[in-house]
């Protein structure tokens, strides 16, 4: 049953050094505030999972929180590189980064299989590529009916999943809509889950019977953090801050600039810093 708490409490209670953690959100609803709190709490040796590492993982990697990364596309979308991620892979700075690299299709299936309680996912994937030669987490199974050989990857069952959503009701039932990505799968496949939300409401209101809802008993902690997805966005609330993403190209490129920026914008801030980005569409 979801507990309502502060962001600091939620991170302290649910993310531990060495954990496998999936901060998810496919472009939309990326849990920036929760990531910043994790950095402030100086978690170490994390095994991070995420289809599209995005700026949040650049920040976690650059601040030395990460031991291993499972991912399928590590860039600043539409802008360029994640320079902190590259610096870790290319130069072991600030520490070596172990890489478990997949395709989107494989990771999406791996999340799906995790939610479904399976040990692995099967897909028609990776054919004619080199991925299997560099990643022991890509194997195969043979269909017992047709003989077709399919790719197999381990399912993702994180210690903790962290997502941002539009709203929760006072019982802790969570509602999200728009580009829902792999968030439901990440939460249902994980042992624990933190959900930050734009707002807590009395009632989820007149939503579709088939809306994407995570019942309270699938979530460990719910935290109200208005604007908590900025510079990503929250459908129905505020837009993606594309200018921030473009600016990251220069912030992330040099170690010194990055560290200074993080000190100022993350280490010396709290979740309330996100409030000014919160806005509800009319």
Partner 1 sequence: MADFSPTEMMTVAAARVLRNEDVCFVGIGMPSAACNLARLSHAPDITLIYESGTIATKPDVLPLSIGDGELCETALATVSVPEMFRYWLQGGRINRGFLGAAQLDRFANINTTVIGPYGKPKVRLPGSGGAPEIATSCGEIFIVMAQSKRSFVDKLDFVTSLGHGKGGDDRQKQGVTTKGPTLVVTDLCIMQPDPVTKELTVTGLHPGVTPEQVAAATGWALKFAPELTETPPPSDAELAVLRALHQRTNEAHQPKAAE
Interface residues toward a second copy, by CB under 8 A = 117-120, 122-124, 137, 139-146, 148, 150, 152, 154, 177-178, 180, 207-212, 235
Q: How many residues sit close enough to partner 1 to count as binding (CB under 8 A)?
A: 72
Q: Do residues 159 and 213 lie in contact, with contact meaning Cβ atoms separated by under 8 Å?
A: no
Q: Which residues contact 178 (CB under 8 A, 6 or more apart)?
A: 28, 29, 235, 236
Measured from the CB atom, the residue of 32 and 111 that comes closer to partner 1 is 111
Longest CA pairwise span in the chain (Å): 59
CA–CA dist 142, 149 (Å, integer) = 4
In the complex, minimum distance from the CB of residue 159 to a second copy, in angstroms, rounded to a whole number? 18
Measured from the CB atom, the residue of 118 and 200 that comes closer to partner 1 is 118
Window 216-245: contact mask with partner 1 (x via CB under 8 A): -xx--------------x-x---xxxxx-x
Q: Considering just the CA atoms, what is the radius of gyration of the chain in Å?
A: 18
Q: Which runs of E-coded beta strand occur in 209-257?
A: 212-214, 221-224
Termini Cα distance of the chain? 32
Helices (H), 27-169: 32-40, 54-62, 83-91, 104-115, 131-134
Applying CB under 8 A, which of residues 165, 185, 193, 219 lies at the interface with partner 1? 185
Helix axes 242-253, 83-91, angle to 10 degrees: 30
The β-bridge relationship of strands 120-123 and 149-154 is: antiparallel
Residues numbered 86 to 145 that lie near partner 1 (CB under 8 A) are: 86, 89-90, 101-105, 108-109, 111-112, 115-118, 123-131, 134
Q: Do residues 28 and 55 lie in contact, with contact meaning Cβ atoms separated by under 8 Å?
A: no
In the complex, minimum distance from the CB of residue 9 to partner 1, in angstroms, rounded to a whole number? 22
The β-bridge relationship of strands 20-23 and 160-169 is: parallel
Binding partner selected for residue 149 from partner 1, a second copy, none, CB under the kind-specific 5 to 8 Å limit:
partner 1
In the complex, minimum distance from the CB of residue 209 to a second copy, in angstroms, rounded to a whole number? 5
Q: Which residues contact 204 (CB under 8 A, 6 or more apart)?
A: 167, 169, 173, 175, 211, 213
Binding partner selected for residue 198 from partner 1, a second copy, none, CB under the kind-specific 5 to 8 Å limit:
none
Binding partner selected for residue 140 from partner 1, a second copy, none, CB under the kind-specific 5 to 8 Å limit:
a second copy
CA–CA dist 174, 124 (Å, integer) = 33
Binding partner selected for residue 139 from partner 1, a second copy, none, CB under the kind-specific 5 to 8 Å limit:
a second copy
Binding partner selected for residue 142 from a second copy, partner 1, none, CB under the kind-specific 5 to 8 Å limit:
a second copy
CA–CA dist 114, 71 (Å, integer) = 15
Binding partner selected for residue 141 from partner 1, a second copy, none, CB under the kind-specific 5 to 8 Å limit:
a second copy
Q: Do residues 174 and 207 lie in contact, with contact meaning Cβ atoms separated by under 8 Å?
A: no
Measured from the CB atom, the residue of 27 and 137 that comes closer to partner 1 is 27
Binding partner selected for residue 199 from partner 1, a second copy, none, CB under the kind-specific 5 to 8 Å limit:
none
Measured from the CB atom, the residue of 116 and 257 that comes closer to a second copy is 116
In the complex, minimum distance from the CB of residue 208 to a second copy, in angstroms, rounded to a whole number? 4
Residues numbered 247 to 276 that lie near partner 1 (CB under 8 A) are: none
């Amino acid at each position: 049953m979801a507990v309502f708490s502060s962001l600091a409490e939620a991170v302290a209670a649910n993310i531990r050094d060495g954990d496998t953690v999936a901060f998810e959100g496919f472009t939309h609803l990326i849990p920036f505030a929760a990531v910043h709190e994790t950095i402030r709490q100086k978690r170490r040796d994390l095994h991070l999972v995420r289809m599209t590492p995005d700026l949040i993982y650049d920040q976690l990697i650059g601040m030395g929180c990460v031991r291993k990364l499972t991912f399928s596309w590590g860039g600043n979308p539409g802008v360029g590189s994640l320079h902190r991620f590259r610096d870790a892979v290319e130069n072991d700075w600030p520490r070596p980064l172990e890489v478990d690299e997949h395709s989107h299709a494989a990771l999406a299936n791996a999340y799906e299989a995790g939610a479904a309680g399976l040990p692995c996912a099967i897909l028609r994937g990776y054919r004619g590529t080199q991925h299997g030669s560099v990643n022991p987490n890509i194997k195969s199974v043979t269909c017992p009916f047709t003989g077709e050989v399919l790719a197999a990857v381990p399912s993702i069952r994180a210690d903790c999943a962290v997502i941002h959503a539009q709203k929760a009701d006072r019982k802790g039932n969570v509602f999200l809509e728009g580009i829902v990505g792999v968030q439901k799968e990440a939460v249902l496949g994980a042992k624990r889950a933190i959900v930050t939300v734009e707002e807590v409401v009395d009632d989820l209101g007149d939503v579709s019977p088939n809306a994407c809802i995570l019942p309270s008993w699938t979530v460990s902690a719910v935290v109200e953090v208005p604007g908590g997805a900025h510079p990503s966005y929250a459908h129905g609330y505020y837009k993606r801050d594309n200018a921030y993403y473009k600016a990251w190209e220069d912030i992330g490129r040099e170690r010194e600039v990055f560290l200074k920026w993080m000190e100022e914008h993350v280490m010396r801030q709290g979740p309330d810093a996100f409030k000014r980005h919160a806005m509800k569409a009319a």
